[in-house]
Structure 1
Amino acid sequence: MRPLLTMRWEHLLFLHWPVDPDRVGETLPEGLSVATHDGRAWLGVVAFTMPDIRPRGSPYGLSFHEVNLRTYVRPESGGPKGVYFYNLDANDWLGVLGARAAFRLPYYHAEMRLSRVDADTTGGSVDHDPTFRFLSRRRHPGADPARVDLVFRPTGDPAPGEPGSLDEFLAENYRFYTGSRPWYCEIRHDPWPLQSAAVTVRENGLFEANGFEPPEGDPLVHYTAALDVRAGRLRRVDD
């Protein structure tokens, strides 16, 4: 794969909740089916920052925060499991417009902030276990003003998901699918160095903004400090 974009993702937080596969299937475009693990579909809220996202050949890059709501799918015609995005909110208008044009993705502009929290609200030591707060409020014209407010503290040692495990199912996806035909884009990176994390979900408006009931119970949580990523160009599934 010849990369179209190179990116660095930092302070990435995965929050996942199990969902009825039939409910998820109702929301997918023709040509995609729900991917499940042990009979369950999953919806994930993923928040992170990209300090350097750069088109091929460009000496300049963009930097912005992002939060998305996703699930996991397979093309009905056959092919690898991948990510399907319901929304991708980012705090850079140029990045939003570019991603909508180049990748046909449902990007929305939002106000966002990722900051170090001085007073730890999740039980860790401020000196040795840094706590972060991720805030997002969508400002895209005509879109639901979805809000996200997360406080989190990484814990444990980083390690890749075991083959066949739920951790691997949720993290190791090397395509995303979009559009109604559908289209796909290949993604390349090293295996995710996953850590556990303590999280307080103060607000999560992304489920309701995308027509889902608010999630029940605590999420399954993973954290990664940093990962370098490459993305190819958009292709049709039947190409």
Structure 2
Amino acid sequence: MKRDLVAMTWVDGLFVHWPVDPAVVDERLPAGLEVATYDGEAWLGIVAFEMTDIRPRGFPVGLGFPELNLRTYVEPEGGGRRGVYFFNLDARDPIGVSIARLFFALPYYRAEMHVSRHGEEVQFTHQRRHPGATPAHFDAVYRPAGDVFRAETGSLEEFLVENYRFYTRGRRLYHGDIRHDPWPLQEATVDVRANTLFEANGFDRPDGEPLVHYADELHVTADRIRRVR
């Protein structure tokens, strides 16, 4: 029986997604992965949330810190399960960053981050401070703007948020699995006051208005990474 490596709770999640040309994303992916599309479009997403009660297996006390990532959606070349590919994951906790880099081979970076709440409104600020990494800055205010719903099977929302596998490239291509209930989504509004994550990862900023969702709270567990094939 599998034993999860870590358990945590994700709070005040923000999902901001832009459709992009699949070729723009494909050229930035490592060998072994290809971009996944919905109705012919690839998607780049910025996801922000606060992780609370993070408990690696055997730890008696939970940790907590904000996280911010730029991601897309991929499939293994030759077929396989769709999942998330992260261009960056920034977090405030240096210990958490070191653990994630060591055990999950993920592109985590140290950053100064702050989350404040005023009623339903959430302010999320971020400034990357990782030694040797490209600087990045993100500042947004967001809030839910609708009733809670679960993504319907086959919908765009399901494609964007219901992904239970991530892929990462170290010396080899690996995948890791997470487990959680379906996301309790709400439509949302966001005022992005600063955002250089696209430029920091070598992308032009996408045109048009993004698709925005909010999620209140979700309990998540994660297993160790495994080699793809």
Q: TM-score range by the shorter chain?
A: over 0.9
Shift of 1:12: 0.4
Q: Whole-Å Cα distance in 2 between the matches of residues 68 and 170 of structure 1?
A: 14
Give the length in aligned residue pairs: 227
CA RMSD in angstroms, aligned pairs only? 1.0
Alignment pair present for 1:203 and 2:198:
no
Per-residue CA distance 1:186-218 (angstroms, 9 max, x = gap):
110001111011111111111000000012222
Matching residue of 2:147: 157
Counterpart of 1:168 in 2: which secondary structure? helix
Per-residue CA distance 1:101-155 (angstroms, 9 max, x = gap):
00000000000011024xxxxxxxx5xxx21110000001111220000111112
Q: Whole-Å Cα distance in 2 between the matches of residues 212 and 165 of structure 1?
A: 26
Shift of 1:51: 1.3
Matching residue of 2:8: 7
Counterpart of 2:146 in 1: which secondary structure? strand
In the alignment, structure 2 segments of 5+ residues that lack a partner are: none
Identity fraction in percent:
62
Q: Whole-Å Cα distance in 1 between the matches of residues 117 and 164 of structure 2?
A: 30
In the alignment, structure 1 segments of 5+ residues that lack a partner are: 118-125
Residue 215 (structure 1) aligned to one of 191, 203, 206: 206
Alignment pair present for 1:173 and 2:189:
no
AA matched with 2:44: L
Per-residue CA distance 1:4-48 (angstroms, 9 max, x = gap):
110100000000001110110000001001000000000000000
Q: Whole-Å Cα distance in 1 between the matches of residues 79 and 56 of structure 2?
A: 30
Q: Whole-Å Cα distance in 1 between the matches of residues 150 and 221 of structure 2?
A: 19
AA matched with 1:220: L
Per-residue CA distance 1:37-84 (angstroms, 9 max, x = gap):
000000000000011111112112211000000000001143210000
Q: Whole-Å Cα distance in 2 between the matches of residues 217 and 227 of structure 1?
A: 29
Matching residue of 1:81: 82
Matching residue of 1:58: 59
Counterpart of 2:79 in 1: which secondary structure? coil
Alignment pair present for 1:145 and 2:135:
yes
AA matched with 2:16: L
Q: Whole-Å Cα distance in 2 between the matches of residues 61 and 153 of structure 1?
A: 27
Matching residue of 2:100: 99
Q: TM-score, normalising length from structure 1?
A: 0.93
Shift of 1:85: 0.2
Q: Whole-Å Cα distance in 2 between the matches of residues 187 and 76 of structure 1?
A: 21
Shift of 1:2: 2.1
Q: Whole-Å Cα distance in 2 between the matches of residues 215 and 221 of structure 1?
A: 14
Q: TM-score, normalising length from structure 2?
A: 0.97
| Structure 1 ranges of 4+ moved more than 2 A | none
Q: Whole-Å Cα distance in 2 between the matches of residues 191 and 131 of structure 1?
A: 23
